[in-house]
Structure 1
Amino acid sequence: MPLTFTHLDRGAAREAVETVAEIYQRSYVDRIAAGTAFYTVERFMHRFDLYTKRDGFELVIAEGDGTPVGQAFGWPLPAGTAWWKGLRTEVPYRFTDENGYRTFALSEIMVPEPHQGQGVAHALHDELLKGRPEERATLLVRPDNGAAYAAYRRWGWHKAAELQPDMADAPVYDALIKSLR
């Protein structure tokens, strides 16, 4: 299926909240159904609202045959970012030093189940990261999410640390890093 991509800055992303919520609901069906507070649609949309307030926020929506089939978004980490709060392992000196130009945080890649395994996630990943001026990117992945973890490793990511975000009910993640140079 040929994909088309729409890039949205933070203002345009805020106008696309219905599409964002719909893709989220179709991508996290099992986690939402499990009833964990962190994964409710309301909690996700609250986080999304906060994310869109960040300088440099970018959302990419993939469409196939005119239907949204996935999304990915992130932003550059500013000086004093809370992204690295909750580290559970030691990292190299100055690893967490940010200035708004060093690290792009890839916050989410979502692809609903009927479109998984068709290269949509990889295409979204590449589309969001292509041409980024930062020297590296980071993302958080649950260690038990075997399929996503394996994909990220194939795409050049490596584990840097364990991290539990400073958010109510947040799980423990592996923080991965990828060079963008």
Structure 2
Amino acid sequence: MTNVTFQRVDAAGARQYRDLVADIHLDAYAEEIATGDGFASDEAFLRRFDAYTSRDGFDLVFAYVDGVAVGQAWGWALTSGSAWWNNLEAEPEPGFADEDGTRTFALSEIMVRRSWTGQGIARALHDTLLAARTERRATLLVRPDNTTAYGAYTRWGWRQVARLRPGWPGAPLMDVLILPLSPEDDE
């Protein structure tokens, strides 16, 4: 892997980097944006980003190579009453969606500029973001037909446990994946 450096920012810092976040998204998701999928559009993406950075505990990591931002990953801890689990098709077990701000970290995005994919940067972003987390588990949502991302997540230890459709307009049905972050997590 190329020599990568990382920068971690909180919600306030992330908002200051909104243009950079948008630029990385436009590059990383150029093909999806070109399809006209409203959920993938830059406007929809930035509406979600603005909502996400209003959450307590928002955590973003940028990856840089030679001073150029080549990727980003972010998420936040799920608190009581979080909308993350809304529209869950079925709870895999009783209490699965019970949150208290310390149980689950929601990994919302990992993206790498197209010219930098396949070099281990996504995995490095994933590991750097999650290494600092104190929650017992992490969750993410992935489209079932996104075989590239799905394959990477399963290789990294994630397992599918449920399905849900996020509450955002035009959101697709997603698989819910879980990754234990601490040894005492038995889910």
TM-score range, shorter chain: over 0.9
Measured in 2, the distance between the counterparts of 1:71 and 1:165 equals: 21
Measured in 1, the distance between the counterparts of 2:132 and 2:167 equals: 30
Aligned pairs, how many? Answer: 181
| 1:100-111 → structure 2 map (5 Å cutoff) | 100-111=101-112
TM-score, normalised to structure 1's length? Answer: 0.98
Letter of the aligned partner of 2:92 in structure 1?
V
Secondary structure class of the residue paired with 1:176: strand
Give unmatched runs, 5+ long, in structure 1: none
Secondary structure class of the residue paired with 2:94: coil
1:43 corresponds in structure 2 to: 44
1:12 corresponds in structure 2 to: 13
Alignment of 1:68 with 2:91, yes or no, is no
| 1:16-165 → structure 2 map (5 Å cutoff) | 16-165=17-166
Deviation at 1:132, TM superposition (A): 1.0
Measured in 2, the distance between the counterparts of 1:152 and 1:68 equals: 23
Measured in 1, the distance between the counterparts of 2:165 and 2:59 equals: 24
Measured in 1, the distance between the counterparts of 2:5 and 2:142 equals: 26
Secondary structure class of the residue paired with 1:20: helix
1:172 corresponds in structure 2 to: 173
Letter of the aligned partner of 1:150 in structure 2?
G
CA contact (8 A) 2:91 2:97 kept: no
TM-score, normalised to structure 2's length? Answer: 0.95
RMSD in angstroms over aligned alpha carbons? 0.7
* CA offsets 1:104-126 (integer angstroms, 9 cap, x no match): 00000001211111000000000
**Displaced runs of 4 or more, over 4 A:** none
Measured in 1, the distance between the counterparts of 2:4 and 2:82 equals: 34
Measured in 2, the distance between the counterparts of 1:38 and 1:141 equals: 13
